[in-house]
Amino acid sequence: MISKLGQSKKSVRPCSSDFDPDHWDGPAVALHVDFSDYEAEVPHHRHRQGQLIMALHGAVTCTAANGLWIVPPGSAVWIPGGVSHSNQVTANARLSYLFVEPEAALLPQDCCTLSVSPMLREMILRLADASGHDEPKDHRGRLVRVMLDELALMPTGGLKLPVSHHPKIAMIASALAAQPGDRRTLMEWASHVAMSERSLKRLMIQETGLSFGRWRRQLHLIVALRELASGASVQSVSLSLGYESATAFIVMFKKALGTTPARYLPNRSPDQEGLGDG
């Protein structure tokens, strides 16, 4: 699924109407997708091939296999073949898709985010540019082999938010996804879902592997990266997440990701920063 945040109501068509990876031969095929041209697809779907979703502009969040991943520019999410997933993109998103045939490369067996080196990025873009044109098969084959070798070496990591199907954890997650600035404490949430604070604390760790505070911080980071990549200012994002000031938000961001929003998303314009955060 592709659901666009802030998308206009103009008539657009499904992305799948223009491209089917099964119509292409070879171990891998790539394409560019500008989501100003496309509408939402079926919420959950799967591909026979593995799929790499690389963000060129804007951002995409992917929900699959009990987790949610954020993909800002310069990163990618890997979804193994056969895994049901849905994606949510910002209205300004431009992505590249890479579909990889099963057994074509030694790639992760689980969903994850991958760092994308400048060389790998350019090879994926080159393959996407070549996909709609006639090119010598030997040239294309060499490009694909080197690209897949490089892809297999990319480090995994990035932001993952564990997703639980337990009804009480899902209730809290749904409420916080709708209102991420909700600052209720663990005790207040426990009362809301008719549990003791101690039981909810234990259940949260059991279901997600994270304490409530760490889980909420992960949610805030994912929401923040998505909104910042879509063009929102640091000031507006910090307010929407319930921080007392943009400075407090930047401190949290830097503590979690090792750098400031301006350095993490270097293509943002100065007026989007809200204040100097360097």
What is residue 264's predicted lDDT score, i.e. its pLDDT?
83
Neighbours of 175 (CB within 10 A): 15
What is residue 276's predicted lDDT score, i.e. its pLDDT?
43
- Confidence grade of residue 89 (pLDDT, cut at 50, 70, 90): confident
Enumerate the β-bridge partners of residue 97. Answer: 31, 53
Distance CA 162, CA 254 (A): 21
Would you say residue 101 has pLDDT above 90? yes
Higher pLDDT, 30 or 135: 30
Higher pLDDT, 176 or 91: 176
- Confidence grade of residue 266 (pLDDT, cut at 50, 70, 90): low
CATH of 2-157, one of 3.40.50.2300, 2.60.120.280, 3.40.50.300, 3.40.1160.10: 2.60.120.280
The answer to whether 170 and 164 have CB atoms below 8 angstroms apart is yes
- Assigned CATH topology for domain 163-273: Arc Repressor Mutant, subunit A (1.10.10)
Quick: pLDDT tens for 26-39. Answer: 899 998 887 666 55
Span 44-64, average pLDDT: 88
pTM for this model (two decimals):
0.79
What is residue 123's predicted lDDT score, i.e. its pLDDT?
95
Distance CA 12, CA 120 (A): 31
For all residues of the chain together, what is the average pLDDT? 84
Q: Which of 103-117, 121-135, 186-200, 208-222 has the lowest mean pLDDT?
A: 121-135
**The most confident of 15-29, 32-46, 151-165, 166-180, by mean pLDDT:** 166-180
Would you say residue 65 has pLDDT above 90? no
Quick: pLDDT tens for 231-248. Answer: 899 999 999 999 999 999
Would you say residue 12 has pLDDT above 70? no
Q: Please state the domain extents for the chain.
A: 2-157, 163-273
